[in-house]
A and B are shown apart, each in its own frame.
Chain A
């Protein structure tokens, strides 16, 4: 057991912190909104140049070309959080498509897509879920029929975030309707400007459209957009789903929210009493703290497993389930602590924190469902973590 870092890494931390301090005047501000904002793109390029973004992406594709190093990645994330300087861009292109291309893309695909994606010049959306294929993703029905050098795509996708802004989509389509459900799927990329694509915003319970529906009507796309080869899309997608599950439930983000809640309860008073001095609310706060600390320590275990190249086992399998639930509970206590004013939303004189606690309470429920529902997570924990038997297949009617 050793939690401090070797001198090499402490030196690296000092270097990162120095680079951030020296360049912080170039960082985008709250005014620099939206995708493809010039200042945000310039900042991203500067971060890549210094190895603070796209660190392990080869130089040939526009990255920094560093060796993979989990501790260095962790130090970089910690220094961004500590200095409160906006971190590197994220999004499904950077987090999910780029790792997939690096592993399975052709040289041509890597050359065409990786650099603009990591620099923020090319935005991607993900076409996985369908109205009839949620938890049972492999039941997807959007069809792609061969026609010469093209596929012709018909069907629809749902829960597509950034579909309006995206230049490109990476999409799962059914290319072999006769094959077993996992074996007839193809992973394909194409421009969102292709004729026949319609994007409809999907307004959710928060009141805003955080996701979209995407409809395909005779959308003709070149076969060159296929990643790996036709009909192995399920395996290709599974390579990226691992990346998505890692993002949901990150204990560092949960800890930051918890600290915001502590600040709220110390700053707000009701009937002349600070919220944190109310023993009922304080008890709930401390209970959440025990869970936040436990998930943080669990994260240290996962990091150690990754450093050793060992599977993280149960410690890894529970992160999405616990982390998303904990975020939701933190927002719930914030609302309860605010009491009657906790119901305010959107705007108004008495609104606290721009109504973000109510927004998070609802949005986080979406994340408990999305990215593999809590129930699917429990199946995975039971089957892969505890070696319990799989659900027997229902007999065909």
Chain B
């Protein structure tokens, strides 16, 4: 028995963090948030060079054939650096399209870039809704991810069925608190579906698990920043990290965060080996990290005092990343309800 990361997995995460330390430094993130296309492109090409697109695609389709646990480690590193990336959406697409080798090959080669519209699975409102008839998809989807520059859109219709269409949709940006990542309202007018991947609980579970891993990274960064700040900042003639009031806040953050890491590993591994409990664990991980992340986002900001509230320190990028992740692909309440349904808890 070994419940730990392999040497290769640690290496994968460390080398990606190395790339991100330069390409997704806080200065770069600020530029991206302000709409600097050059900075955004530089980050994207650094990640393409790293080989992220091919990571989850099976080897026989030209990919690296890595596991979902590997994907969680990548997503955690991206969250740690609040780095925008196509990785999450492409990873979801690669798992959803496991029966479509042609599309997988395009994903691995970086020629197919996916947008994702899953809100139909979690909350339909404001007149949105995608209907599927005679092989065509029409309607409106809210909060679609990564549609800018995408070649394809993976979308759920009002029955929860997934479809792939060419990305020619009309779109309008939806501003969120998180300016590093783009969300759009997309309008489809009878686009022909290129694929209808199997729509089981697995795709949503994987999307939710990757978001949980992203929050894990962002929350770890906020904890690290709080501990570092508390070791430097002096008040009343001593570093504030020597006050129990501050130490206990940091201890509480660590105590909530650390089990979340183990739960994400366990859920990813369960999905990787086809354990039927995998989707339950993934939904529980989404709920757990949403709650732990929210606590850490608030607490780390408080440990930073007034500086935490300023734009200067930039802590708010992590706060907002965690805030968006909490709602993305369903609130913690919805993730818990899915976990209950999957276990047949209710009548």
Interface of A with B (CB < 8 Å)? 1-5, 9, 71, 262, 266, 274, 276-277, 279, 282-283, 285-287, 289-291, 293-298, 300-301, 303-305, 307-308, 314-315, 318, 321-322, 375, 377-379, 381-383, 385-392
Interface SS majority for chain A: helix
B318 within 8 A of A: no
Known: A287-B291, A318-B255, A388-B227. A293 touches B266 (CB 8 A): yes
- Bound-complex Cα distance A293 to B259 (A): 9
Chain B residues whose C-beta falls within 8 Å of the C-beta of A391 in the assembled complex: 242, 244
**Which of B4, B231, B336, B345 is the one whose CB lies under 8 Å from A290?**
B336
B260 within 8 A of A: yes
Q: For B284, give the chain A residue with the smallest CB separation.
A: A290
**Which of B227, B273, B347 is the one whose CB lies under 8 Å from A277?**
B347
- Bound-complex Cα distance A388 to B231 (A): 7
- Bound-complex Cα distance A71 to B2 (A): 11
Flag if B347 contacts A297 (CB, 8 Å): no
Chain A residues whose C-beta falls within 8 Å of the C-beta of B4 in the assembled complex: 1, 301, 304-305, 308
Chain A residues whose C-beta falls within 8 Å of the C-beta of B285 in the assembled complex: 290
Segment at the A interface, from B38-46, B168-176, B245-253: B245-253
Known: A291-B288, A294-B288. A282 touches B340 (CB 8 A): yes
**Which of B3, B239, B251, B259 is the one whose CB lies under 8 Å from A294?**
B259
Chain A residues whose C-beta falls within 8 Å of the C-beta of B6 in the assembled complex: 1
- Bound-complex Cα distance A285 to B287 (A): 12
**Which of B69, B242, B266, B291 is the one whose CB lies under 8 Å from A300?**
B266
Interface of B with A (CB < 8 Å)? 1-6, 69, 227, 230-231, 238-239, 241-242, 244, 247-248, 250-252, 254-255, 258-260, 262-263, 265-266, 269, 272-273, 281, 284-285, 287-288, 291, 332-333, 336-337, 339-340, 345-347
- Bound-complex Cα distance A295 to B292 (A): 13
Flag if A1 contacts B265 (CB, 8 Å): yes
Flag if B3 contacts A304 (CB, 8 Å): yes
Flag if B262 contacts A301 (CB, 8 Å): yes
Flag if A388 contacts B258 (CB, 8 Å): no
Known: A315-B258, A389-B231. A2 touches B2 (CB 8 A): yes
Chain A residues whose C-beta falls within 8 Å of the C-beta of B250 in the assembled complex: 382, 386, 388
Flag if A286 contacts B339 (CB, 8 Å): yes
Chain B residues whose C-beta falls within 8 Å of the C-beta of A322 in the assembled complex: 255, 259
- Bound-complex Cα distance A379 to B250 (A): 10
Flag if B227 contacts A386 (CB, 8 Å): yes
Flag if A283 contacts B333 (CB, 8 Å): yes
Q: For A325, give the chain B residue with the smallest CB separation.
A: B255
Flag if A388 contacts B2 (CB, 8 Å): no
- Bound-complex Cα distance A388 to B250 (A): 9
- Bound-complex Cα distance A289 to B158 (A): 30
A-B contact pairs, 15 of them (CB 8 A): A1-B4, A282-B346, A286-B284, A286-B287, A287-B336, A290-B263, A293-B266, A294-B259, A294-B263, A298-B259, A300-B3, A378-B247, A381-B255, A388-B247, A391-B242
Sample of 11 more A-B contacts, CB < 8 Å, known A304-B2, A379-B247: A286-B337, A294-B260, A294-B263, A297-B259, A305-B4, A379-B244, A381-B255, A382-B248, A388-B241, A388-B242, A392-B242
Known: A276-B345, A382-B251. A307 touches B262 (CB 8 A): no
- Bound-complex Cα distance A362 to B238 (A): 39
Chain A residues whose C-beta falls within 8 Å of the C-beta of B291 in the assembled complex: 287, 290
Q: For B252, give the chain A residue with the smallest CB separation.
A: A378
- Bound-complex Cα distance A3 to B274 (A): 13
Flag if B231 contacts A300 (CB, 8 Å): no
Chain A residues whose C-beta falls within 8 Å of the C-beta of B1 in the assembled complex: 2-5, 9, 71, 300, 303-304, 307
Flag if A1 contacts B238 (CB, 8 Å): no
- Bound-complex Cα distance A314 to B255 (A): 8
Chain B residues whose C-beta falls within 8 Å of the C-beta of A378 in the assembled complex: 244, 247-248, 251-252, 255
Chain B residues whose C-beta falls within 8 Å of the C-beta of A71 in the assembled complex: 1
**Which of B230, B266, B337 is the one whose CB lies under 8 Å from A283?**
B337
Known: A1-B2, A274-B347, A386-B254. A300 touches B247 (CB 8 A): no
Max chain B Cβ within 10 angstroms of own Cβ: one of A291, A304, A390: A291
Chain A residues whose C-beta falls within 8 Å of the C-beta of B244 in the assembled complex: 375, 378-379, 391
Q: For A274, give the chain B residue with the smallest CB separation.
A: B347
A91 to chain B: closest CB distance in Å? 29
Known: A289-B339, A290-B336, A295-B259. A318 touches B284 (CB 8 A): no
Flag if B288 contacts A382 (CB, 8 Å): no
Max chain A Cβ within 10 angstroms of own Cβ: one of B247, B251, B262, B285: B251
- Bound-complex Cα distance A383 to B241 (A): 10
